């Protein structure tokens, strides 16, 4: 970020936006150095606005911002990555909306978080590439060869939790700290991890977690995405992972996530039969 006086330049990804007044918009923007920021784009809803196309949701943009009394004002905006293919795929839009909402919930204003910034850009690039493959535009790589966005979302969620300090413990018992073995262990969403069979005895609010589910979670938690792109997980197992992570995230944020609800509804509608 290049900051001088009351005007500074930064990069940002637009997480969300809402209309304000007759022609303005309030944008929630995630930046690498200043974390989450609320900025106002004056006159952006006018047909003559030159900034509108550069401040769409998900856009990675370069910003010139002027400090003001209520909200900092975006005076200049230039797109760096627009993720055009992502915007043409309803499925990818659902995943991107979920990712942006999660970043919104797990980030703070004025918090320098380069790791989360890099993770967010990676996520949008992966979804854009996924959409490109799905469109059939890349004849050298059939759509069937692109990544599984559901699996990618689970990977993203676990990386997000690790970066923001909410990483669940899947490798050692929360009580005795013994290494977890491939048997039926017991998960506590409230405690954020797993108890071995012996230490789970007598505990309330624990649930059985089968070895195959725990194996996938551990693999997603510790492995870079580049090494997971070709991983295939059977639907029943992926459904168990999805259910567990969904409930764990709700336990942390303590509220329903609108985009997650939309994505889960979209998945249901797209199921065959």
Percent above pLDDT 70 for the chain? 87
- φ/ψ of 14, rounded to 5, equals -75, 115
Whether 177 shows a pLDDT value over 60: the answer reads yes
- List C-alpha distances in Å: 201 to 74, 172, 188, 189, 194: 57, 16, 12, 16, 12
The pTM (predicted TM-score) of the whole model is 0.89
Are the beta carbons of 33 and 25 closer than 8 angstroms?
A: no
Are the beta carbons of 13 and 29 closer than 8 angstroms?
A: yes
CB atoms within 10 A of CB 55: 22
pLDDT at 143: 44
d(CA 112, CA 35): 6
Mean pLDDT score, 106-118: 94
- List C-alpha distances in Å: 51 to 41, 62, 100: 8, 11, 21
pLDDT at 254: 73
**If pLDDT is split at 50, 70 and 90, which confidence band does 251 have?**
very high
Question: How does pLDDT run across 199-218, given as a tens digit for each residue?
Answer: 999 999 999 999 999 999 99
């Amino acid at each position: 970020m290049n900051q001088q006086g009351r005007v500074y330049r930064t990069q940002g990804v637009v997480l969300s936006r809402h209309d304000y007044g007759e022609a303005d918009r309030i944008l929630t923007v995630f930046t690498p150095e200043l974390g989450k920021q609320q900025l106002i784009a004056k006159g952006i809803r006018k047909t003559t606005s030159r900034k509108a196309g550069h401040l769409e949701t998900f856009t990675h943009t370069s910003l010139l911002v002027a400090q003001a009394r209520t909200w900092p004002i975006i005076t200049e905006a230039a797109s760096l990555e627009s993720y055009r293919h992502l915007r043409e795929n309803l499925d990818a839009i659902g995943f991107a909306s979920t990712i942006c909402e999660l970043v919104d919930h797990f980030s703070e204003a004025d918090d320098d978080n380069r790791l989360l910034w890099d993770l967010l850009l990676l996520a949008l690039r992966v979804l854009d590439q996924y959409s490109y493959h799905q469109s059939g535009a890349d004849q050298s790589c059939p759509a069937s060869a692109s990544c599984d966005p559901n699996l990618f979302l689970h990977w993203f969620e676990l990386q997000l939790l690790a970066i923001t300090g909410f990483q669940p413990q899947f490798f050692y018992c929360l009580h005795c700290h013994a290494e977890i073995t491939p048997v039926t262990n017991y998960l506590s969403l409230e405690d954020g991890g797993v108890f071995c069979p012996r230490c789970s005895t007598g505990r309330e609010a624990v649930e059985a977690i089968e070895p195959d589910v725990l194996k996938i979670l551990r693999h997603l938690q510790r492995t870079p995405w580049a090494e997971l792109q070709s991983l295939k997980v059977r639907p029943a197992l992926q459904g168990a992972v999805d259910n567990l992570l969904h409930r764990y995230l709700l336990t942390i944020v303590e509220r329903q996530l609108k985009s997650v609800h939309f994505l889960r509804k979209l998945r249901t509608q797209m199921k065959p039969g």
